[in-house]
């Protein structure tokens, strides 16, 4: 069973079509990397796959479950790392993660393990607003993988992270973790390195959908021109 099956997906905001005519299929354990200029519909696609936005047309199946009708059975199997960390600024990293652990019925020990592995233990008792962007991003990574999701939806996951932090997050959100991933990226070389399948979006429409081995960085750069 494929992890993702999308057929003729359309999503509008008012009169404006943010996504249209998107069809794709992704096998479990594979990585789809989505490229496209700002406003191309990448984030909207992630939010539809996360069941946070309804498709207005077409069908979307995640692990065989149709969205939005069966979204209740998909929740908890999806981890979303977007532009916002989805964490409360006034709470500490540990308080935030413990809160999410309760929502996902995850043991507290998992929180401490993640804080340790992401080198956040030393400052996990300070309010998030006092931490650097990089540390907040690491906390957001911990939040996204806390419940060990089978599908990871990552929107420019490496933003704000220095090389040392990239090494820390890689075992959790990298290919080695073995999860099915959808990654939005603006980095042709880095993105292609991660991808099994490439989707290029322009104006909400698919401009490129191919096996990553058949795509060159030059073709991706063309999407931005």
Binding site for another protein (CB under 8 A): 50-54, 68, 72, 75-76, 78, 80, 82, 84-91, 95, 99-100, 102-105, 127, 143
Where do runs of H (alpha helix) occur along 25-162?
Answer: 42-49, 71-74, 93-103, 108-117, 133-145
What does the alpha-carbon distance between residue 179 and residue 127 come to, in Å, rounded to a whole number?
31
CB of 4 to another protein, least distance (A): 17
Q: Toward another protein, which CB reaches closer, 156 or 215?
A: 156
Report the residue number, 82 or 191, with the smaller CB distance to another protein.
82
Min dist. Cβ of residue 192 to another protein (A)? 28
Calculated CA dihedral for residues 37, 79, 199, 40, nearest 10 degrees? -30
Would you say 53 or 197 has its CB closer to another protein?
53
- Residue 161 Cβ, how far from another protein at the closest point, in Å? 19
- Least distance to another protein, CB of residue 33, Å: 22
| Rounded least distance, CB 103 to another protein, Å | 4
Rounded to a whole number of angstroms, the distance between the first and last alpha carbons of the chain is: 37
* Shortest CB 86 distance to another protein, Å: 4
Report the b/e string of 182-207 with b at 16+ CB within 10 A.
bbbbbbbeebbebbbbbbbbbebebe
DSSP class of 127 = B
Q: Any residues with CB less than 8 A from the CB of 63 and at least 6 apart, and which?
A: 1, 3, 74, 77, 150, 151
Radius of gyration of the chain (CA): 17
Query: Which phi and psi angles does 157 have, rounded to 5°?
Result: -70, -20
* Closer residue to another protein (CB): 102 or 133: 102
What are the structure tokens assigned to 201, written together?
């979006």
Query: Which candidate, 54, 31, 43, places its Cα nearest to that of 82?
Result: 43
CA distance 103 to 8: 33
């Amino acid at each position: 069973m494929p992890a993702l099956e999308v057929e003729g997906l359309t999503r509008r905001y008012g009169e404006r079509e943010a996504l249209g005519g998107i069809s794709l299929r992704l096998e479990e354990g594979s990585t789809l990397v989505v490229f496209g200029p700002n406003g191309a519909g990448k984030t909207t696609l992630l939010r539809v796959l996360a069941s946070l936005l309804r498709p207005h047309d077409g069908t979307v199946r995640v692990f065989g479950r149709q969205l939005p009708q069966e979204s209740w059975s998909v929740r908890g199997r999806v981890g979303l790392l977007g532009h916002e960390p989805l964490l409360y600024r006034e709470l500490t990293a540990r308080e935030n993660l413990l809160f999410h652990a309760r929502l996902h019925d995850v043991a507290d020990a998992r929180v401490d393990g993640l804080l340790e592995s992401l080198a956040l233990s030393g400052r996990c008792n300070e309010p998030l607003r006092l931490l650097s962007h990089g540390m907040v991003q690491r906390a957001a990574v911990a939040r996204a993988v806390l419940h060990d999701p089978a599908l990871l939806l990552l929107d420019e996951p490496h933003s704000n992270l220095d090389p040392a932090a990239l090494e820390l997050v890689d075992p959790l959100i990298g290919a080695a973790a073995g999860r099915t991933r959808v990654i939005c990226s603006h980095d042709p070389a880095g993105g292609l390195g991660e991808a099994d399948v490439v989707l290029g979006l322009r104006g909400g429409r698919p401009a490129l959908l191919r096996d990553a081995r058949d795509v060159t960085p030059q073709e991706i750069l063309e999407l931005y021109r």
